């Protein structure tokens, strides 16, 4: 594997205003908010704060850009493809800068952002660039003298609201299919992590997209997010975030114009380890599944189910590994474990651990904040002795807390692992094909990972069962969400 370059420790902050109609503009009432570095708590900069009136302005720009006769509407699909490929090339050109900026703003370890997140972002744009002229309709045979066909048309002005935990990846998952299908978009990044979205917006101009096609309005959920989700001129909204906010978004759609929704919500995903595995491989994978990005990943393997025959050894090795993690500055290339996003999340995670212990769980390592570091660090934590109904076993922690459960039989573990309000991921490690197939068939989850974890790819759909959401990002499936189906009946002369 190619070596990872050193991060740019203090990447220059170039864009801090709203991006509307390919221009940088302060918010109409002059408001701004503070953006901080989670690894140090230091202020990075002030960013303009979008309110209702700014969202209206962005939606107006997106509406104008979508009008029949506009440059964007007249653009042939192969040129849309070129622009998306241009954008991918520009992100690739600036990969080191963008990865450094993401680490500065989000606190996730630079090595992973550079090696995993950026390539996925670039590939997502290239993948959807290939789709601009390939999302076909059908011709449909019916009784009578008709020709019937369907076409896929852009939905129109879309909105996207994304969370702080994977800002660039979420941006790519929403922007690429949306623009590939010829829509226009107003994107609200999380107010906690707006910096990379603003930088990518600057590349949109350089790539050659016409004004108004992509607009970025950083702001708070309750104001800018709410304005987008209630907007009468937004026809489709794609949301990634928590279940509670997802509920508000669905309600806002019903209360406004029934805009189409894609909801990608939380998870409490099981990872099932059978006794036939290579123990070190499985322990390593289960650690990656929960400790990556300090546990702040929707698809984290946050409930590790381990067969009783290997339970004690598995737990011992997991604790050993958790204790070995190098905690520190996420900009350092050898850091394994970075901070939580902010104090609120840090406090929430520590409170959930404390409650777990009060409820009777056994804390084997971690469970505290990391002393001596200014950022919002939580020690890698391993716990056992949970019962399935405890709060800690059911609620998303969104932190570096590995919960290891013991199981006896495959039927039991399938039932227990499915007994969750969530259904985003199910993981399984085994060398027994029958066990793997049974788990894959029975899991009530949108994605199943067999002998792997975090195997995400733009080409394959991603989304949740149950309260993990509805609709799919990625793959061909995402295109359906960004298009309307139009059915055309043409009366034909009878056969002669
Ligand atoms: P969140 O609080 O739900 O926020 C997500 C986004 O919604 C943010 O941009 C937020 O704005 C905005 N928002 C908040 N209140 C809103 C409202 N009333 N109306 C409209 N928008 C509103 O989630 P988060 O804490 O940022 O992210 C963590 C959650 O996201 C976790 O539950 C995680 O599992 C989930 N997640 C899911 C996936 C997936 O693909 N399934 C991927 C990543 C994360 P602010 O800027 O004010 O926060
Ligand atoms: Mg939030």
Regarding the beta carbon of 381 and ligand 1, being less than 6 Å apart is answered: no
Each residue's pLDDT tens digit, 120-136: 999 999 999 999 999 99
Does one domain contain both 255 and 279?
Answer: no
Q: Is 1 among the domain residues?
A: no
Each residue's pLDDT tens digit, 38-75: 999 999 999 999 999 999 999 999 999 999 999 999 99
Catalytic, out of 49, 191, 264, 396: 264
Instruction: Give the mean pLDDT of 372-378.
Output: 96
Does one domain contain both 310 and 432?
Answer: yes
CA distances, 35 to each of 16, 157, 195, 342, 477 (Å): 10, 28, 9, 11, 35
Instruction: Please give the distance of CA 209 from its chain centroid, rounded to a whole number.
Output: 24
Each residue's pLDDT tens digit, 254-288: 999 999 999 999 999 999 999 999 999 999 999 99
Total residues belonging to the chain: 496
Does one domain contain both 212 and 313?
Answer: no
Catalytic, out of 298, 299, 361, 396: 298
**Whether residue 477 lies in the annotated active site:** no
Does one domain contain both 72 and 142?
Answer: yes
Each residue's pLDDT tens digit, 483-494: 999 999 999 999
- Please report the atom of ligand 1 found closest to the CA of residue 469: 41
Q: How many domains does the chain have?
A: 2
Q: Is 98 among the domain residues?
A: yes
Regarding the beta carbon of 446 and ligand 1, being less than 6 Å apart is answered: no
Mean of the per-residue pLDDT values for the chain? 98
Q: Is 4 among the domain residues?
A: no
CA distances, 15 to each of 47, 201, 323, 352 (Å): 8, 9, 39, 37
Residues in a beta bridge with 272: 305, 428
**Whether residue 298 lies in the annotated active site:** yes
Does one domain contain both 225 and 286?
Answer: no
Does one domain contain both 293 and 176?
Answer: no
Regarding the beta carbon of 188 and ligand 1, being less than 6 Å apart is answered: yes
Does one domain contain both 295 and 415?
Answer: yes
Each residue's pLDDT tens digit, 213-233: 999 999 999 999 999 999 999
Count CB-CB contacts under 10 A for residue 385: 17
Q: Is 242 among the domain residues?
A: yes
Q: Is 493 among the domain residues?
A: no
CATH code, domain with 33: 3.40.605.10
Each residue's pLDDT tens digit, 318-374: 999 999 999 999 999 999 999 999 999 999 999 999 999 999 999 999 999 999 999
For ligand 1, mutation pick of 108, 241, 296, 345 (most atoms within 8 Å of CB): 241
Q: Is 215 among the domain residues?
A: yes
Q: Is 8 among the domain residues?
A: no
Regarding the beta carbon of 102 and ligand 1, being less than 6 Å apart is answered: no
Residue 191 C-alpha to ligand 2 middle, in angstroms? 8
Work out the pLDDT band at 2, boundaries 50, 70, 90.
confident
Each residue's pLDDT tens digit, 162-177: 999 999 999 999 999 9
Structure tokens at 27: 């918010």
Residues in a beta bridge with 139: 149
- Please report the atom of ligand 1 found closest to the CA of residue 166: 43
Regarding the beta carbon of 253 and ligand 1, being less than 6 Å apart is answered: no
For ligand 1, mutation pick of 51, 160, 163 (most atoms within 8 Å of CB): 163
C-beta separation of 448 from 438 below 8 A: no
Does one domain contain both 448 and 474?
Answer: no
**Cα dihedral 20, 26, 30, 32 in deg (nearest 10):** 90
C-beta separation of 461 from 473 below 8 A: yes
Q: Is 187 among the domain residues?
A: yes
DSSP strand pairing (401-407 vs 381-384):
parallel
Does one domain contain both 256 and 274?
Answer: no
Each residue's pLDDT tens digit, 379-421: 999 999 999 999 999 999 999 999 999 999 999 999 999 999 9
**Cα dihedral 193, 195, 201, 205 in deg (nearest 10):** 180
Work out the pLDDT band at 496, boundaries 50, 70, 90.
confident
Each residue's pLDDT tens digit, 284-297: 999 999 999 999 99
Residue 412 C-alpha to ligand 1 middle, in angstroms? 33
Closest residue to atom 48 of ligand 1, CA basis: 190
Does one domain contain both 353 and 281?
Answer: yes
CA distances, 265 to each of 304, 315, 425, 472 (Å): 20, 30, 12, 11
Regarding the beta carbon of 161 and ligand 1, being less than 6 Å apart is answered: yes
Evaluate if residue 1 carries a pLDDT over 60: no
Does one domain contain both 414 and 479?
Answer: no
pTM beyond 0.95: the answer is: yes
Does one domain contain both 280 and 190?
Answer: no
Percentage above 70 pLDDT, the chain:
100
Residues spanned by the domain of 115: 18-265+469-486
Regarding the beta carbon of 164 and ligand 1, being less than 6 Å apart is answered: yes
C-beta separation of 462 from 472 below 8 A: yes
């Amino acid at each position: 594997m190619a070596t990872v370059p050193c991060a740019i420790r203090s990447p220059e902050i170039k864009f801090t205003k709203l991006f509307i109609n390919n221009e940088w503009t302060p918010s109409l009432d002059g408001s701004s908010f503070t953006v901080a570095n989670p690894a140090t708590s230091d202020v990075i900069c002030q960013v303009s704060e979008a309110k209702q009136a700014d969202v209206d302005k962005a939606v107006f720009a997106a509406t104008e850009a979508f009008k029949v006769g506009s440059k964007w509407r007249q653009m042939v699909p192969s040129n849309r493809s070129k622009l998306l490929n241009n954008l991918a090339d520009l992100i690739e050109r600036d990969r080191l800068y963008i990865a450094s900026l993401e680490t500065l703003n989000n606190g996730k370890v630079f090595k992973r952002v550079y090696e995993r997140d950026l390539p996925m972002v670039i590939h997502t744009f290239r993948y959807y660039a290939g789709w601009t002229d390939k999302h076909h309709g059908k011709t449909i045979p019916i009784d009578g003298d008709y020709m019937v066909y369907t076409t896929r048309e852009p939905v129109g002005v879309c909105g996207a609201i994304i969370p702080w935990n994977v800002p660039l990846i979420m941006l790519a998952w929403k922007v690429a299919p949306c623009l590939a299908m010829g829509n226009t978009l107003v994107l609200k990044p999380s107010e906690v992590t707006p910096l990379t979205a603003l930088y990518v917006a600057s590349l949109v101009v350089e790539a050659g997209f016409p004004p108004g096609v992509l607009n970025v309005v950083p702001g708070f959920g309750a104001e800018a997010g709410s304005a987008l989700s209630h907007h009468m001129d937004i026809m489709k909204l794609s949301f990634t975030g928590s279940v509670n906010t997802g509920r508000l978004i669905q309600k806002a759609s019903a209360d406004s114009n029934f805009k189409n929704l894609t909801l990608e919500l939380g998870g409490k995903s099981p990872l099932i380890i059978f006794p036939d595995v290579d123990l070190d491989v499985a322990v390593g994978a289960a650690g990656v599944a929960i400790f990556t990005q300090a546990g702040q990943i929707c698809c984290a393997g946050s409930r590790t189910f381990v067969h009783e025959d290997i339970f004690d050894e598995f737990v011992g090795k997991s604790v050993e590994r958790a204790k070995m993690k190098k905690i520190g500055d996420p900009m350092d290339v050898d850091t394994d474990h970075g901070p939580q996003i902010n104090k609120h999340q840090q406090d929430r995670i520590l409170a959930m651990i404390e409650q777990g212990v009060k409820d009777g769980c056994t804390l084997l390592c971690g469970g505290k904040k990391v002393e001596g570091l200014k950022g919002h660090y939580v020690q890698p934590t391993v716990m056992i002795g949970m019962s399935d109904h405890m709060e800690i076993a059911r609620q998303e922690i969104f932190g570096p807390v590995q919960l290891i459960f013991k199981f006896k039989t495959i039927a039991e573990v399938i039932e227990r692992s499915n007994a969750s309000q969530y259904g985003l991921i199910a993981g399984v490690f085994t060398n027994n094909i029958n066990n793997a197939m049974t788990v894959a068939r029975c899991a009530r989850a949108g994605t199943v990972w067999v002998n792997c974890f975090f195997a995400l790819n733009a080409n394959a759909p991603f989304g949740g069962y149950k309260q993990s959401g509805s609709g799919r990002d990625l793959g061909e499936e995402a295109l359906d969400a960004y298009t309307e189906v139009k059915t055309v009946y043409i009366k034909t002369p009878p056969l002669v």
